[in-house]
Amino acid sequence: LKLTKEDMLEIYETILTIRISEETMYDLYKRGELPGHILPCLGQEAIPAAFSKVLKDNDFVVTGHRGGGHYISRKGDFKGLWAELFGKREGIMKGKGGQIHLIDMDKKTIAGNAIVGANWVLGTGAGLAALFEGKGTIAACFGGEGSTNRGTFHEGLNFAAVKKLPIVFVCEFNFYQLCNHVSEVMTVENVADRAASYNIPGITVDGNNVFEVYDAAKDLVARAREGHGPSLLECKTFKWTDSGTNLRLCPKEVVTWQTQKDPVQLYQSKLEELGILEPSLCKDIKQRVTQKVEEAVAYGKQCSDPSPEEAVEDVYSMPLRNAQGGELL
């Protein structure tokens, strides 16, 4: 299964949409125009972009922090995303989830969870559901290297391995958990080494290279579809931004990654080198994506605020009353 020219251009549009949307989000956030708390995936876009051509619409996706790129790569409701970022009622989660919990069940996508490491056991459950579903359905479960230090990583991967669940676990290894470098919090260089504990394949790739991620993901996803069980794909990448709060990364290191290992720039250069992306086409795509983001931002901004009464809606499948109609006090 080789990527066609059309596939590559589609990936380009996806990676660019993620970049421009997340950059816009970060800028607006810094200017105080977005409420809440954000976890951008800037610098990590190659991973969701590559997976957009590996996963099928009926596969299940679960992520941990920084799931915005996956939401976009799964073609989640884009305007609804922006309404959510502004905390509006028309937001895909009605303003209740916010940027860290991007959920579009029509796209079978849970892109985000604020409990670091919860993704590994939820993803295991998604794999169970995929196993029952059959027809080659798989679950893809993404999370940062910091979250692999939680017990849930061990419990989830061990469970998935022993039950041979159709899951590709993906570690988005971005070198920092909060503001601690990996060397301060773990003794292995590669999270993929941990796959040995579960007797499953563990593969490390350059997570900023779309083609490398795609090739490895394609094989591991095929393996899962064929019933050979889970695997662990480690994508070495780098987060360019903090969490939108005041955490500090090493500025020099960020600049190095931005100038020498920018996944969007690397991918664009490769397409240009292959003669797939002519300057005029590149310009057209950029214009289209920029316009799409601008329209979504404008839409999100003018959406309505939820009313205070909505704060107690959506807790249960029925209103908070007991079965005899009595008020639940």
- A 10 A CB-CB count for 19 gives 23
Q: Among residues 3, 9, 128, 266, which is the contact residue for other proteins, using CB under 8 A?
A: 128
Of 81, 103, 195, 216, the one binding other proteins (CB under 8 A) is: 103
Beta-bridge partner residues of 104: 109
Query: What is the C-alpha separation between 254 and 163, in angstroms, rounded?
Result: 40
192: nearest Cα among 147, 233, 142, 139: 233
CB of residue 221 to other proteins, shortest distance in Å: 17
CB of 188 to other proteins, least distance (A): 22
When binding is defined by CB under 8 A, the residue of 132, 183, 184, 279 that contacts other proteins is: 132
When asked if residue 328 is in the footprint of other proteins (CB under 8 A), the reply is yes
Which residue, 47 or 126, is less far from other proteins as judged by CB?
A: 126
Site for other proteins in 302-321 (CB under 8 A): 313-317, 320-321
Q: Which residues contact 98 (CB under 8 A, 6 or more apart)?
A: 36, 37, 84, 85, 87
Compute how many residues bind other proteins; rule: CB under 8 A: 56
89, exposed or middle or buried, with CB in 10 Å at 0-12, 13-18, 19+?
middle
CA distance 293 to 25: 10
User: 63: number of CA atoms within 13 Å, CB side?
Assistant: 28
Among the listed ranges 13-21, 30-38, 98-106, 200-208, the one in contact with other proteins (CB under 8 A) is 98-106
| DSSP string covering 234-258 | EEE----S-SSSS----HHHHHHHH
Report angle CA 121, 222, 265 to the nearest 5 degrees.
85
Judged by CB under 8 A, does residue 96 bind other proteins?
Answer: yes
Nearest distance in Å: CB 48, other proteins: 19
- 217-220, long-range: CB < 8 A, 24+ apart: 217/50, 217/51, 217/54, 217/168, 217/170, 218/1, 218/54, 220/168
Q: Quick one: which of 64, 68, 87, 125 contacts other proteins (CB under 8 A)?
A: 125
Q: Which is nearer to other proteins, 92 or 249 (CB)?
A: 92
Is the Cβ of residue 134 or residue 275 nearer to other proteins in the bound state? 134
Positions in 144-203 near other proteins (CB under 8 A):
151-152, 155-156, 158-159, 162-163
- Structural tokens at position 261: 């290992």
Return the range that interacts with other proteins (CB under 8 A); candidates 92-100, 210-218, 220-228, 297-305.
92-100
Rule CB under 8 A: choose which of 1, 129, 179, 188 binds other proteins. Answer: 129
Closest-CA residue to 286 (of 274, 270, 268, 266) = 268
Q: Rounded to the nearest whole angstrom, what is the least distance from the CB of residue 134 to other proteins in the complex?
A: 11
Residue 130 touching other proteins (CB under 8 A): yes
Distance CA 117, CA 41 (A): 17
Residues within the interface to other proteins (CB under 8 A) = 60, 62, 91-97, 101, 103-105, 108, 110, 113, 115, 118, 120-133, 139, 151-152, 155-156, 158-159, 162-163, 313-317, 320-329
